[in-house]
A = this chain, B = another copy of it.
């Protein structure tokens, strides 16, 4: 009798430690695979820089994509699909359903949710120029916060409570320590309205998760996205004078701008110029897929924030040198005084994304420059070239 009990305890242990967990794992795996195969993702700001590259990766991984965009920051000839999304379809051979909608238009947005069975949302739609946000803050608050809160309301009304939010390392303000982990304080020292809108939306989402346990939210804090899709068909297409280093360098290389101004060469860095954590746009896009998968897993609860960066910084002069090498063009540049609000160094600790999301940035500075140059060369005037 005792012997039997002894034996049955083994069976129990086997069941407890092996079969039950295996069952769970299988269930999760099936869930994730099912979501991957059949999920429909609404992408707001889907025609933008990060949006369009993410749509490519979604389509390549069998997701169905509904893109909405108000086209305020992207090129579209007439009433058709924006050029960026036409090119996405060319790259992937898949179709993107597109709606020319401002996400502040509640009725129009609601109609999209009623028309399609949406499983999750990736939310990129926002104004994104730091300098402009200082000039017209109210426009930024209305677009970025008003738009987001309308989106969240429509999502909740339609029972869609899974969201990946396009946030930014600007929520950390001036770094208190380096590399920046996700535990770094946020909101303190956000000096411009753009950064504040990202921080405020993060806070709204955290409060939403506290109030309703059905919400699942991933906040992705980007460092400095650069590069382009390796096909050279899509890339960053800033309107007017580029705010960021890489597109500026690219426009100098292609002859659209005379020379690059380097703001400050007296920072306490490797060569005195500012150091940033640049990340290839394709790595960044893949990060969104990993975030979706994580969010779809049954063990994911409430909200979580992840840094998306390479974890190492490059100086302005290192970027100039790398781009000159990749493009074979000299990058005309001059050192000028520091620019107000700039910091010396900023780079990510991306360990958490590696552990939780099984994600690492794999494309190096050479690939970033090569792909930017490939895009710039083929499209000297961005999407207007077509």
Contact = CB atoms under 8 A, between A and B. Distances in A.
Given A187-B187, A196-B203, A196-B207, A152 B138 contact: yes
A150 to B, nearest CB: 8
* Max chain B C-beta neighbours (<10 A), residue from A137, A156, A187, A210: A137
Nearest to A156: B138
A135 interface: yes
Copies per complex?
A: 2
A138 B210 contact: no
A134 B203 contact: no
Contact of A141 (B138, B185, B204): B204
A145 interface: yes
Interface string A128-171: 00000011111001100110010011001000000000000000
A56 B137 CA distance: 34
A137 B196 contact: no
B138 A153 contact: yes
A142 B137 contact: no
Interface string A193-223: 1001000100110011011000000000000
Contacts of A200: 145, 200
Contacts of A153: 138, 142
B211 A135 contact: yes
Given A188-B188, A200-B200, A211 B146 contact: no
Contacts of A185: 188
A182 B367 CA distance: 50
A344 B196 CA distance: 31
A204 B149 contact: no
A45 to B, nearest CB: 20
A152 B193 CA distance: 15
